[in-house]
Amino acid sequence: MERVKYGAAAWAHLTGRLPNSFPRTVGPRAMEYLAEIVETGLTVDMMGRFERAFAEKLGVRHCIGTPGCTPALAVLAASLGGEAGDEIIVSPVTDYGTVQGLIRENYIPVFADTAPGTMNLSAETIEPCITDRTRAILVVHKTGIVCDMDPILALGKKHGIPVFEDVCQAVFSTYKGRYAGTMGKAAGFSFDSEKTMGADVGGCVVTDDDELAERMRFIGQSRAGVQKPHFGRLHTEAGYAYRMPQCTAAICLAQLEIVDENVARRDLVARDISRRLAAIPGIVPEPIPDAQEVYSCWMLAFSLEPGAFTCTTEEFASQCAEAGIPGAGAAAYYLMPDALPFLDEWTEAGRFPYSTPPASTKRRYTGVMCPTAREYVSRVVRWSTICEKYTDEHCAIAAEIVQVVADANRSRS
Ligand SMILES: Cc1ncc(COP(=O)(O)O)c(C=O)c1O
């Protein structure tokens, strides 16, 4: 099997009648910040500057820069202080980066089911998964749509369980006047090159919790090292060297300066395309909650009504791609229990911590764990090239392509 590619290399072949997010729009001051790094002989603290600017923009106390969201959430997981076999309830429809750190820290990912008709978790789908081993809830705001956070936060509070957010797909989306990523105890962000604030590999964790922030800096950026008098560096835990590179920080800083404008355009584009798609029989755009004022995304999705078309979702998506939507594809691979076969193998083999104990029970890691999510994503078509370059005409073209493909594959009944 072919190895997965990332960044511009993965997007290079995506051509069509709509823009590709590459080459990226980059904030005009990026070269100035990059030059500063070189001209000062690497002495400028660009990461610190970005961390402060991003925290201020979100209105949170702390931002901890990392080389991506995968490492950001790994640092968060390493800072939680739970025990092997403790359970983290997490969205089943997401990227591997959401769960990589949990797995490496010997937490058991418990994939709750999604709410019907969306790719997000809800308080109702999370609650049945709570056990006395649950240490945290990690929600993902998939395709820029913010989860209904108030009931989720209330549920976490009721059980004394912290709620964390994965905001990679919803950077600067808002819910009831609050930015995604500022509602839970901490949140991971990605600034990977195709994302809303794309700046090469990069990410961060944000939090208002002073103690957690200090711990994440220690574990994530200082490799859990302290200076022991008369000895030298002493590593008191298994820390990481996950600092955000200075050059990434420079580009992130420049991207932050243009993000409002870009997000405003993405919001208009996503809503315009969604409105147009809603008018096509058999096509259901991702529902935008009333509580969401800003819809910021880099990936857009719609689902096919059951029985509406004679072709498979994959065929529908590839016809959309052939007709000009760059990168249109099926979304089934986003269903983590199906996408991580090694978890089921580990469980079957009784590998630590999936052995019982420390695991509280033996789980099967397949889509049967979350049947609503599996059925739903099997009908989802998505494309990842939504960006601020889309004009109103591009929105019309996107809808026209879906209309043509839908009409060509419509069931007769
Ligand atoms: C929801 C989600 N979480 C985590 C990640 C991983 O982010 P990164 O590539 O910055 O490690 C991604 C990347 O696409 C994502 O979409």
Q: Dump the DSSP string for 73-120.
A: HHHHHHTS---TT-EEEE-SBS-HHHHHHHHHTT-EEEEPPPPTTSSS
- The answer to whether position 356 is within a domain reads no
CA-nearest residue for atom 5, ligand 1, is 97
Look up residue 233 and give its two tokens.
Answer: 């560096």
Look up residue 145 and give its two tokens.
Answer: 């749509």
- Rounded distance between C-alpha atoms, residue 370 and residue 365, angstroms: 10
Query: 232: burial class by Cβ within 10 Å (0-12, 13-18, 19+)?
Result: exposed
Instruction: Name which of 231, 108, 104, 95 is nearest 166 in CA terms.
Output: 95
- The answer to whether position 45 is within a domain reads yes
Instruction: Name which of 373, 370, 376, 374 is nearest 128 in CA terms.
Output: 370
Helices (H), 279-349: 313-323, 336-339, 341-349
- Look up the pTM and report it: 0.97
Ligand 1 centroid distance, CA of 168 (Å): 5
Ligand 1 atom nearest 195 alpha carbon: 14
Please list every protein residue whose CB sits less than 6 Å from any atom of ligand 1.
68-70, 94-95, 97-98, 140, 166, 168-169, 190, 192, 203
Residue-range definition of the domain harbouring residue 176: 24-253
Residue 367 has a pLDDT of 82
- The answer to whether position 386 is within a domain reads no
Ligand 1 centroid distance, CA of 232 (Å): 36
Look up residue 360 and give its two tokens.
Answer: 């509280």
Q: What helix, strand, coil percent values describe the chain, rounded to 5?
A: 40, 15, 45
Ligand 1 centroid distance, CA of 205 (Å): 12
Ligand 1 centroid distance, CA of 70 (Å): 6
CATH of the domain at 121: 3.40.640.10
Number of domains composing the chain: 1
- Name the residue of 6, 104, 146, 192 whose CB sits within 8 Å of the most ligand 1 atoms, as the mutation to test its pocket: 192
- Name the residue of 98, 190, 299 whose CB sits within 8 Å of the most ligand 1 atoms, as the mutation to test its pocket: 190
Ligand 1 atom nearest 68 alpha carbon: 10
Q: How far is CA 97 from the centre of its chain?
A: 8
Query: 132: burial class by Cβ within 10 Å (0-12, 13-18, 19+)?
Result: exposed
- The answer to whether position 135 is within a domain reads yes
- The answer to whether position 176 is within a domain reads yes
Residue 8 has a pLDDT of 80
Ligand 1 centroid distance, CA of 69 (Å): 6
Ligand 1 centroid distance, CA of 243 (Å): 17
Looking up tokens 């200082």 gives 222
Look up residue 232 and give its two tokens.
Answer: 């030298």
Q: Are strands 174-175 and 178-179 parallel, antiparallel or unpaired?
A: antiparallel
- The answer to whether position 303 is within a domain reads no
Residue 413 has a pLDDT of 67
Instruction: Name which of 92, 89, 90 is nearest 370 in CA terms.
Output: 92
Residue 147 has a pLDDT of 98
Helix (H, G, I), strand (E, B) or coil at 233: strand
- The answer to whether position 144 is within a domain reads yes
Ligand 1 centroid distance, CA of 208 (Å): 22
Ligand 1 atom nearest 140 alpha carbon: 1
Enumerate residues 6+ apart whose C-beta is below 8 A from 131.
87, 360
- Name the residue of 70, 196, 242, 251 whose CB sits within 8 Å of the most ligand 1 atoms, as the mutation to test its pocket: 70
- The answer to whether position 245 is within a domain reads yes
Grouped pLDDT means (10 residues each) for the chain, 413 residues: 82 82 94 98 98 98 98 98 97 98 98 98 98 97 98 98 98 98 98 95 97 98 97 96 97 98 98 98 98 98 98 98 94 95 96 94 90 97 94 97 98 80
